[in-house]
């Protein structure tokens, strides 16, 4: 393993030689009266405040984040369209709790039902969409669990599309944050619907239960939940400048408490932290000698964008290092890991990402391989 300190890109040109400084002093996160809570940066995935994030909790109507995600995936795959008409079954019509007030036997568009799920938190709309997509809510729940597994929601299990209480229906604050981030990333058009404040169907106007949409103009989602056993829950997301945060509060005492707790977490994150994109995906960060190949220099970079979230005012203290596995000998496949990029602040590692080949390099000619073999002996 070869260790090199590099000025990996112009972004860190002055940073790589700055050395380490004392660790920044930050105030404690706000006190949150909830069973569990989490504040996460969307881009870096960094947790800025957390408690009980892996404890099993009832998601209540926050479940509908996954309902919307599955519907969005079906739309993206062209298995359904927003204009499709759904005949409302008696089972969907009879659903209790929050409702869109669809009528049995009526045909309703997928788009209206999706608005009913997202804005009005309609249990009837959720079941109608589940039956449209999967034939039954039970099969739809299995689709929800397949998506949960794919997204790495390791503490989650769904048995319905609505979030109505069931002993086998549970999640965690961590999983809810990951799911919200996935919805924002994978289906931005569907995510935008979560910022809509009101929706009228069948002459009945209902308002989005996420009161942060009225209180904080930077908030553009995402979903509330409430049952007597689950308490008052809220997953919220806000974008200020180039920084997006996701907050989760679970089992608070009231609507006001969940809003105040979420606002306090978001304000804390935006006030005391900043997020930077250091390197882009597949951006060349280094060129390294490759031996016995058709070319002599191999470009290296990262598979994904690299973001870091740090205390405000500490950007100049970032330190980036590059570690290479050398010598690099052909053949090399595109995407093959050949080292790592590490980013630290005040001596504490913030991120480590695999350094990959940005191109495939086949073996060179017999003469080239023999010549490089001799050079390597002397090297």
* Higher-pLDDT residue of 372, 374: 374
Residue 142 and residue 290: Cα distance in Å, rounded?
48
Q: The pTM is what?
A: 0.90
pLDDT digits (tens, 9 = 90+) for 161-176: 999 999 999 999 999 9
Domain annotation for the chain: domains and CATH numbers: 2-21+278-378 (2.60.410.10), 36-252 (3.40.710.10)
Question: Would you state the structure tokens that stand for residue 220, as one six-digit string?
Answer: 């553009």
* Higher-pLDDT residue of 17, 157: 157
What value does the CA radius of gyration of the chain take, rounded to a whole number of Å? 25
Residue 61 and residue 226: Cα distance in Å, rounded?
6
Could you say which DSSP state residue 113 is in? H
Question: Would you state the structure tokens that stand for residue 152, as one six-digit string?
Answer: 């790495």
Under the banding of pLDDT at 50, 70 and 90, the label for residue 47 is: very high
Q: Which residues are catalytic?
A: 61, 64, 121
Judged against a pLDDT cut of 70, whether residue 185 lies above it is answered with: yes
Under the banding of pLDDT at 50, 70 and 90, the label for residue 24 is: low
Question: Would you state the structure tokens that stand for residue 28, as one six-digit string?
Answer: 């404690």
Beta bridge partners of 38: 50, 248
Residue 334 and residue 358: Cα distance in Å, rounded?
5
Q: Nearest Cα to 257, choosing from 28, 37, 27, 29?
A: 37
């Amino acid at each position: 393993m070869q260790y090199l300190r590099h000025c990996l890109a112009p972004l860190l040109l002055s940073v790589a030689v700055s050395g380490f400084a004392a660790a920044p002093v930050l105030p404690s996160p706000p006190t949150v009266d909830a069973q569990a809570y989490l504040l996460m940066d969307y881009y870096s995935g960094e947790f800025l405040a957390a408690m009980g994030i892996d404890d099993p909790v009832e998601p209540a109507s926050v479940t509908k984040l996954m309902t919307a995600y599955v519907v969005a995936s079906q739309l993206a795959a062209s298995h359904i369209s927003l204009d499709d008409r759904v005949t409302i079954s008696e089972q969907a019509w009879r659903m209790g709790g929050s409702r869109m007030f669809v009528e049995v036997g009526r045909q309703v568009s997928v788009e209206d039902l999706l608005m009913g799920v997202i804005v009005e938190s309609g249990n009837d709309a959720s079941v109608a969409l589940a039956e449209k997509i999967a034939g039954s809510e039970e099969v739809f729940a299995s689709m929800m669990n397949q998506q949960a597994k794919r997204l790495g929601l390791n503490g989650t299990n769904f048995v319905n599309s609505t979030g109505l209480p069931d002993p086998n229906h549970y999640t965690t604050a961590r999983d809810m944050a990951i799911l919200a981030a996935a919805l924002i990333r994978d289906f931005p058009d569907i995510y935008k619907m979560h910022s809509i404040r009101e929706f009228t169907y069948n002459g009945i106007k209902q308002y989005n239960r996420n009161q942060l949409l009225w209180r904080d103009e930077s908030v553009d989602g995402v979903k509330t939940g409430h049952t007597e056993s689950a308490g008052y829950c809220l997953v919220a997301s806000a974008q200020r400048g180039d920084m997006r945060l996701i907050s989760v509060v679970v089992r608070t005492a009231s609507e006001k408490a969940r809003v105040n707790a979420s606002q306090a977490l978001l304000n804390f994150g935006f006030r005391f932290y900043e997020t930077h994109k250091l390197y882009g995906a597949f951006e060349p960060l280094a060129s390294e000698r490759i031996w016995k190949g058709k070319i002599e220099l191999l470009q290296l970079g990262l598979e994904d964008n690299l973001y870091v979230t740090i205390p405000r005012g500490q950007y100049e203290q970032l330190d980036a290092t590059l570690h290479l596995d050398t010598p690099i000998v052909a053949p090399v496949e595109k995407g093959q890991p050949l080292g790592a990029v590490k980013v630290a602040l005040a001596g504490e590692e913030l991120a480590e990402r695999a350094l990959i080949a940005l191109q495939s390099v086949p073996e060179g000619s017999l003469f080239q391989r023999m010549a490089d073999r001799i050079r390597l002996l002397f090297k």
